[in-house]
Amino acid sequence: MNNITRSMLILFVIMLVAEVSASAQDQQPDQSRRERVIQFLKARRQAQGAAGNGAGLMGAGGRFGNQRINDLGPERSGVGMRQGQSSGDESLLDPDASAEARKIGNSNATARDVAYGSDPLQKLDVYAPAKGTATGPVILFAHGGGWKRGDKKQHGLKGAAYSNHGILFISTNYRLAPQVMHPKEIEDIASAFAWVKAHASDYGADPNKIYVMGHSAGAHLVDLLATNEKFLKEKGLKLSDVKGCISLDTASLDLTERASLPGPASKMVADMIKTAFGTDPKVLAEASPLLQLQKGKTYPSFLMICSGNRRDSLAAHKEFEKAVHGVGGGVTTKVVPLNHGEISQAAGNEKTEVFSQILSFVEGK
Per-residue model confidence as pLDDT tens digits over 167-194: 999 999 999 999 999 999 999 999 999 9
Q: How confident is residue 56, by pLDDT bands cut at 50, 70 and 90?
A: very low
CATH superfamily of 96-362: Alpha/Beta hydrolase fold, catalytic domain (3.40.50.1820)
Q: Which of 89-93, 226-230, 245-249 has the lowest mean pLDDT?
A: 89-93
Q: How confident is residue 132, by pLDDT bands cut at 50, 70 and 90?
A: confident
- Residues belonging to the chain: 365
Q: How confident is residue 267, by pLDDT bands cut at 50, 70 and 90?
A: confident
For residues 125 and 109, is the Cβ–Cβ distance under 8 A? yes
- Answer whether residue 26 shows pLDDT above 50: no
Higher pLDDT, 64 or 137: 137
Q: How confident is residue 76, by pLDDT bands cut at 50, 70 and 90?
A: very low
Residue 268 confidence (pLDDT)? 83
- On whether the pTM is more than 0.85, the answer is no
**pLDDT digits over 80-124, tens only?**
333 333 222 233 344 455 666 667 666 779 999 999 999 999 999
Residue % of the chain over a pLDDT of 70: 71
For residues 330 and 309, is the Cβ–Cβ distance under 8 A? no
Residue 2 confidence (pLDDT)? 54
Instruction: For the chain, give every domain's residue range.
Output: 3-67, 96-362
As a whole number of angstroms, the distance between CA 106 and CA 99 comes to 10
Residue % of the chain over a pLDDT of 90: 63
Mean pLDDT of 28-33: 41
Taking the CA atoms of the chain, what radius of gyration do you get in angstroms? Answer: 20
User: CB neighbours (10 Å) of residue 217?
Assistant: 27
Listing DSSP states for 164-212 in one string gives TTT-EEEEE----TTTS-TTHHHHHHHHHHHHHHHHGGGGTEEEEEEEE
As a whole number of angstroms, the distance between CA 196 and CA 180 comes to 23
- In the chain, DSSP assigns E strands to 111-115, 123-127, 136-142, 168-172, 205-215, 244-248, 301-307, 331-336
Q: Which of 90-104, 294-308, 344-358 has the lowest mean pLDDT?
A: 90-104
- Answer whether residue 12 shows pLDDT above 90: no
Residue 98 confidence (pLDDT)? 61
Among 119, 227, 244, 123, smallest CA distance to 172 is for 123
As a whole number of angstroms, the distance between CA 259 and CA 272 comes to 9
Q: How confident is residue 1, by pLDDT bands cut at 50, 70 and 90?
A: low
Residue 266 confidence (pLDDT)? 75
Higher pLDDT, 86 or 231: 231
Among 66, 65, 87, smallest CA distance to 78 is for 87
Q: How, if at all, do strands 123-127 and 244-248 pair?
A: unpaired
Torsion sign (Cα): 14, 19, 24, 30: positive
Instruction: Work out the burial of residue 319: count CB atoms within 10 Å of its CB; fewer than 13 is exposed, 13-18 middle, 19 or more buried.
Output: middle
Among 145, 271, 263, 135, smallest CA distance to 203 is for 135
